[in-house]
Amino acid sequence: MELENKDYTDVLKDAQLNGFAESDPWLDVAGFDTKFKTSLLTIHAFGIVLNPDDIFNTGIQNIIYDDILYAKQRGLRVKMLGVSQKVGDKFRVYAMPHFVSKESELYNVLYEYNAVEVEGAFSCKQTFVGKGAGSHPTGSAVLSDISALTYDYKYGYKKLKKALNNNVKIEDGIKQVEFDFPIKLYIRFQDKAQLNDLEILNIEEEYKSATTNYIIANVNFNSLFNIYNKRDNKLFICAI
C-alpha cells in the first residue's frame, strides 16, 4: 500500500493472484497466522504452552490508506508483529500491527518477506529474514516436512522439557501470562460508539475530520478481547 500507493482491496487481490494470500484471506489478514507462529515461538523461547484463544490478535483487515499516510508522515511503517516477551516475572504474548521506526531492523522487511527478531538475556538483538510466502518458500517447507517424516525428525522443545521436568504442568502456562497492563495504541474508528468495548485509560491525542477519526490512547490490554475475532469489527488498531 505504501510503496505502490494502492488501496487495501487492490493489494489484497494482487496478493491472492500471486499466491501470497488464500481465497478466504481471514487467517492471513486478521493476524491469526502470525498468532499461531508466535504461539510456537513462545514454546521454544520460554517453554510456555498457550491455547491460541488465550492470545489476542487483530490484523490489517481494516487498514486504509489514511493509516499508511499517518505512519508515513512520521517516518514510520505499519508492520504486523507477533510479540512474545518477558516483563518482570510475567510474559506478554499477542499479535497486532505496530508502528515501526527507521531505527528498527524490521522497517525494511517488505512485501512477502518475514523476519524473526530474537533478544536473549545476555545477547543483543538478532534478526533473521526470509521469504514467508510464494511457490519456492512453500515448496521448501513442504519438502522439509516430508523429510522430517521420512527420517523421524522431531523439534526439540528444550525449554518445555525443562519446565515439565520441574513438575510444571502444561495447563499452568496461562498463569504465567499477564493480561492486565496498559498498552499505547493508535485506534482509527468511524463512530465513537465503536470504542465502547475498550477500557480506555486516557487519551493523549484525538483527531476528527470528514474522512477519518483516530485517537492515541492507553488502553487496558485485557479489554481488547472484547473485540477479538469479530469480523464486523471496523476498528484499525496499531501499537505504538
Catalogue the active-site residues: 37
Residue 145: count of CB within 10 angstroms of its CB? 11
Cβ contact 22:137 at 8 Å = no
H/E stretch holding 127: strand 126-131
CA angle at residue 189 from 16 to 78, to 5 degrees? 50
Cα–Cα distance, 7 to 25 (Å, whole number): 16
Cell of 140: 521448501
Say how far residue 16 (Cα) sits from the centre of its chain.
20
Q: Label residue 95 exposed, middle or buried (CB < 10 Å: 0-12, 13-18, 19+).
A: buried
First vs last C-alpha separation in the chain: 20
Residue 210 to residue 215: CA distance in whole angstroms: 15
